Amino acid sequence: LQQRRGIRLSAPAAIQVTVRDALNQALDEELERDERVFLLGEEVAQYDGAYKISRGLWKKYGDKRVIDTPISEMGFTGIAVGAAMAGLRPVCEFMTFNFSMQAIDQVINSAAKTCYMSAGSIAVPIVFRGPNGASAGVAAQHSQCFAAWYGHCPGLKVVSPWSSEDAKGLLKASIRDDNPVVMLENELLYGVPFEMSEQAQSKDFLVPIGKAKVEREGTHVTLVSHSRPVGHCLEAAAVLAKEGVECEVINLRTIRPMDVETVEASVVKTNHLVTVEGGWPQFGVGAEICARIMEGPAFNYLDAPAVRVTGADVPMPYAKILEDNCIPQVKDIIFAVKKALNI
């Protein structure tokens, strides 16, 4: 009515939402939308989650929908996979993906391969989620990135969010997908606020699995990353812009299936490629991107070899100064860009 009278209405402003709250919101909306969805894992119910991702959900939905489990990843992951085969849609939380090693037989041999081995007759709609990669000061056995491990396996979809919109949209899309999905979050991002658009605040908001996002347009070099290092790439791009170098920053969002087309289109434009990841270099996500570019049409547009920025090829040290030197920093990305551009 106000619009008809010629009164100009301001568009609803975007709001600041932390990644933690975005994940909580996604779980709440999907638990409410579909009674087949349930959450299980260590401390997810009465304690509200080790990282408070499931805050308030047990009180709202009760013991049958939000389930505390014993400290036995192999056991509760097997229960979740069986529940998915029987028609439910479990969300299985690992307190850290390092602990998913205890259950990797269930994730790979039971969940990932069943749809193929049953000729498509058995769907396994399950989400395995939790923090992945390095946190801060937790040493080698809690600081590993599993993007390349799970991205290697046919039958799985693997997503790796950066922003709050990524986190909410990818989790909702993963819960609704009929395939097993591994969702690799980052503990150090949980408390970070990001702008969330009006569209992303909708209960119908989804981020399509398998589609990357160009976070910053550029013309001189393509930076491809996922999870927390996307932020480092944007910081590096801001510094390099002051020196006249315009970086195009691509947030992969999905590791498998990988959106190679978006990366190729960018490389065709910029003629240079730098990949950035927190994982180890050998057989890593960056190595796969470089191989796919080399094998495809974009290779002919490269004016220099692609450069990878990765974590150090060592188990993560405990000491902070050593840890900092094992994780890609903004200065490492700037150095790699200048190497690629020969400046």
Neighbours of 69 (CB within 10 A): 19
Which whole number is the average pLDDT over 51-72?
A: 96
> Are residues 164 and 260 in contact, defined by beta-carbon separation less than 8 angstroms?
no
**Domain residue limits, the chain:** 17-201, 213-341
**For residue 6, what pLDDT is reported?**
52
Residue 265 has pLDDT above 80, yes or no: yes
**Which CATH superfamily includes the segment(s) 17-201?**
Thiamin diphosphate (ThDP)-binding fold, Pyr/PP domains (3.40.50.970)
Summarize pLDDT for 121-134 with one digit per residue, the tens: 999 999 999 999 99
Nearest-5° Cα angle at 256, 253 to 261? 70
Q: What is the DSSP letter of 2?
A: T
Spatial separation of the C-alpha atoms in residues 89 and 106, rounded to whole Å: 16
Residues constituting the chain = 343
**For residue 7, what pLDDT is reported?**
52
Q: Which residues are catalytic?
A: 73, 142
Q: Which residue has the higher pLDDT, 1 or 221?
A: 221
Question: Which top CATH class is 213-341?
Answer: alpha beta
- Chain position carrying tokens 């899309």: 173
* Listed range (1-5, 102-106, 194-198) with the worst mean pLDDT: 1-5
Which whole number is the average pLDDT over 45-53?
A: 96
Asked, colleague to colleague, whether 17-201 and 213-341 share their fold, the answer is: yes
Summarize pLDDT for 133-178 with one digit per residue, the tens: 998 989 998 999 999 999 999 999 999 999 999 999 999 999 999 9
> Are residues 49 and 24 in contact, defined by beta-carbon separation less than 8 angstroms?
no
**For residue 14, what pLDDT is reported?**
84
Percent over 70 (pLDDT), the chain: 97
Distance, CA of 123 to chain centre: 23
Q: Tell me the CA distances in angstroms from 254 to 70, 147, 183, 212, 245, one per residue in order.
A: 31, 10, 9, 7, 27
Which positions ≥6 away from 139 have C-beta within 8 Å? 316, 317, 318
Six-digit token string for 239: 């510094």
**For residue 12, what pLDDT is reported?**
61
Burial (Cβ within 10 Å: 0-12, 13-18, ≥19) of residue 168: buried
Spatial separation of the C-alpha atoms in residues 139 and 311, rounded to whole Å: 14
Confidence of residue 4 (pLDDT cuts 50, 70, 90): very low
**For residue 56, what pLDDT is reported?**
96
Amino acid at 55: R
Q: Tell me the CA distances in angstroms from 312 to 6, 300, 335, one per residue in order.
A: 61, 30, 16
